[in-house]
Amino acid sequence: MNITKDCLVVIDYILMDEDGNVIESTYEKEPYSYVHGHNEIIKGVERALEGHEPGDEIEIELEPGDAFGEYDPGLVEMVDRAFFPEDAELEPGTEYIMQDREGRLIPFTIKKIEGNEVYCDFNHPLAGKKVKFKITVREVRQLNPEP
């Protein structure tokens, strides 16, 4: 069965930076599952997988707009040091996760610290960067198979 809209797709993948350094891999963990055509996966990956079938292996390189988005300087915000726990060791380059009022977890990176002003970058760490994927299609099936 080929990958089309509304199929449950199971893949293994290796995500790499543009130099080929491995950032993440599912091959030694659980495969990744998603419903095709419902924006549950990076749009460039979803487009590349369209029409493929179990056993197919593909390699793709994605521009930022098709991967984790363009870098948006407007997503760097100043947060008062008092917002953080007193014992928090804040250092530029460190990634943290905060919880918003609705209980959602929001990752961010400390860009710089000036006195009590902590500049937090809410862009995805790979925003603005080209990435590469090696993907193996493991399974494709209809979500609601007909009897």
Q: What is the pLDDT of residues 94-121, one digit of tens each?
A: 999 988 889 989 999 999 999 999 999 9
Q: Worst-scoring range by mean pLDDT, 37-41, 65-69, 73-77, 82-86?
A: 82-86
Would you identify the CATH topology of the domain 7-69+126-142?
Chitinase A; domain 3 (3.10.50)
Taking alpha carbons only, the member of 11, 8, 4, 35 closest to residue 137 is 11
Per-residue pLDDT, 147: 54
For residue 97, list its beta bridge partners: 107
Q: What is the pLDDT of residues 81-101, one digit of tens each?
A: 998 888 988 999 999 998 888
- For 73-121, the fitting CATH number among 3.40.640.10, 3.40.50.300, 1.10.10.10, 2.40.10.330 is 2.40.10.330
pLDDT of residue 145 exceeding 70, the answer is no
pLDDT averaged over every residue in the chain: 94
Q: Round to whole Å and give the CA distance between 11 and 27.
A: 9
Per-residue pLDDT, 146: 56
Q: What is the pLDDT of residues 26-55, one digit of tens each?
A: 999 999 999 999 999 999 999 999 999 999
Distances in whole angstroms, Cα of residue 60 to Cα of each of 41, 71, 84, 135, 137: 14, 21, 40, 8, 14
Taking alpha carbons only, the member of 62, 44, 31, 61 closest to residue 140 is 31
Per-residue pLDDT, 34: 97
Per-residue pLDDT, 85: 87
Taking alpha carbons only, the member of 78, 143, 64 closest to residue 112 is 78
Which pTM value belongs to this model? 0.82
The DSSP annotation for 58-96 comes to EEEEE-GGGTT----GGGEEEEEGGGS-TT----TT-EE
Query: Distance of alpha carbon 117 from its chain centroid, rounded?
Result: 28
Per-residue pLDDT, 89: 86
Per-residue pLDDT, 77: 95
For residue 143, the 8-state DSSP code is: S
Tokens standing for residue 39: 């924006």
Domain locations along the chain: 7-69+126-142, 73-121
